[in-house]
Amino acid sequence: MSSMKSWRMESPGEPLMLHEDPLPVPGPGEVLLTVSACGLCHTDYGYLYGGVRPNAPLPLTLGHEIVGEAIAAGPGAEGMLGRTYLVPAVLPCGECELCAKGRGNVCRSQKMPGNDFHGGFASHFLTPARYLCAIPEGVGDVEDLSVAADAVGTSYQAVVRAGVGEGDLVIVVGVGGVGLFAAQTAKVFGATVVGIDVDQARLDAVSDYLDLALNSGESDIRGIRKAVLAFEQARGLPSYGRKILECSGAAAGQTTAYALLNHDAQLAVVGFTLEKTTVRLSNLMAFDATAFGNWGCLPEHFGPILELVAQGRFTLKPYVERFPMSQLNDVLREEHHALRPVMIPDFENFGS
């Protein structure tokens, strides 16, 4: 292909438009990838339909869950040619004080594909090379790995930051999307996992990684709390130290997650919503609990994540559905999917 084709957001709420441009030329420390796949994330819906403004001006190519092969490289990145890479959804600068402190995921100079610059709903993708993660040899279904860039990476980092370990009780509120992978990650780390969701189909989809599934559409918060407490007692689990991962991105889910705090609990807010909720902050004091937000995933986590996939300890395929990228607008019209959508470039359908 002698040019680059992409689906770009020109205005909120409107279908993405097909663009064709000359192939970008990598500068120092940059590589050009042919896109193998790009996952469709709830954040993309936020930009298109939810009133969330991307940092870059429109028109903008969305998509930040990207896998691709390096076909061209600028000075300093020539050694990366010919391999397939996962692109972290958050690319820190690597030079600032926050990066030096290990907080590169909130680096103030970070760049996010499909937000700060053109993303992966395209035939090609130009990116800084510094934090690209080479996919291990022998890993099949490379396209499915695109969801690791955000949906898996974000949940993995939340599990690590919450200090999840063998024998812990992890409660995942909202088990669709990121929550599905949060439950699986917690199980890999040796935890006992409770999943809470209003959608029974989502609970059923992740049942292999849940020790208890609770449908919050069939019970109020008091009933949910009683069920979790009874489960802890029946399993002989401690009455303290819950690891609560709020992944629903809904005010109701956030309220439920906060209501489940106990002594020495860790609450990770992973999902995003513009909705507001009311909570009593003094509960954090009374329980000496910790609540923190989780933005993105540090690039250094992706090596271990891909190793878990390579070892067969982490599974993606059953939870991913592939679509031709030519169907992107159709897929975007359905905001709720049973599986995680992954778009596969098929720009040959539009000529050369």
Dihedral pair phi/psi, residue 66, rounded to 5°: -120, 135
pLDDT of residue 51: 86
129 half-sphere exposure, CB direction, 13 A CA radius: 23
Alpha-carbon distance of 179 to 220, in angstroms, equals 20
The CATH architecture assigned to 3-150+297-350 reads: Alpha-Beta Complex (3.90)
The mean per-residue pLDDT over the stretch 268-286 comes to 94
% of the chain exceeding 90 in pLDDT: 86
The pTM assigned to this predicted structure is 0.90
pLDDT of residue 239: 93
Fill in the DSSP letter of residue 53: P
Alpha-carbon distance of 289 to 296, in angstroms, equals 23
The region of weakest confidence among 10-14, 158-162, 318-322 is 318-322
Is the previous residue joined to 54 through a cis bond, with omega within 30 degrees of 0? Answer: no
CATH fold group of domain 155-293: Rossmann fold (3.40.50)
Work out the burial of residue 107: count CB atoms within 10 Å of its CB; fewer than 13 is exposed, 13-18 middle, 19 or more buried: buried
How sure is the predictor about 141, in pLDDT bands with cuts at 50, 70 and 90?
confident
Q: Which residues contact 49 (CB under 8 A, 6 or more apart)?
A: 12, 13, 335
Going from N- to C-terminal start, the domains of the chain cover 3-150+297-350, 155-293
Token pair for 183 = 């439950």
Query: Amino acid identity, residue 178?
Result: V
Inform me whether the pLDDT recorded for 325 exceeds 90: yes
Contact 129, 80 (CB under 8 A): yes
Query: Amino acid identity, residue 194?
Result: V
Is 301 or 274 the better-scoring residue by pLDDT?
301
What would the pLDDT profile of 102-121 be if each residue is shown by its tens digit? 999 999 999 999 999 999 99
% of the chain exceeding 70 in pLDDT: 99
